[in-house]
Amino acid sequence: MEKIGKFIYFIICYAFFIFTDLYLSNILAEKISSGYRLSNDLFSLNYIKNTGAAFNILQNAREMLIILSVIALVLLALYVIKHLKSISLKACFFIAFLSAGIAGNLHERIIYGYVRDYFQLNFINFPVFNISDIFINIGVIALIILILLKKTK
């Protein structure tokens, strides 16, 4: 696929993922705030205002987290642009997935001053998380797998 085609694919994936993230996050936050409750053995919806990062690190370090997020997004975009010729569509997809997750949390930190978390796992002691966090984790895990598979060939 041509470089411009890969770049367009990356942008379309990114736009779709960030729209999905922000749209679903807003729906969940509104539903939970208006009294909607869901709880079962697997998970609960539990609205939390998170002023830090994963696992409650860097609490109240909003400006630093914003800067780190912007740096991560710029580096990911530069990587895609620089490697358009050799990068696979799978890698473009998962970098877009990861970037959308970072951008979703960045958006909430800028707009609200915190990240809205709402998924709580009931079968394990684990921090409450959101859709952006899911995107970030899936993106990172998938990219690690792609890198490992590429190295083993």
133 is annotated as an active-site residue: yes
Q: Which segments of the chain are extended strands (E)?
A: 43-50, 115-121
Name the active-site residue from 118, 133, 136, 139. 133
Strand partners, 45: 119
* Sequence-ordered list of residues with C-beta below 8 angstroms from that of 140, at least 6 positions apart, any chain: 98
Name the active-site residue from 117, 131, 135, 143. 117
* Sequence-ordered list of residues with C-beta below 8 angstroms from that of 65, at least 6 positions apart, any chain: 52, 53, 58, 109
41 is annotated as an active-site residue: no
Query: Residue 86: how many CB atoms within 10 A of its CB?
Result: 9
Q: Six-digit token pair at 55?
A: 């696992």
Q: Six-digit token pair at 49?
A: 């205002």
Question: To 5 degrees, how large is the angle CA 39–CA 41–CA 43?
Answer: 55
Cα–Cα distance between 63 and 29 in angstroms, integer? Answer: 23
What are the residue numbers of the active site? Answer: 117, 133
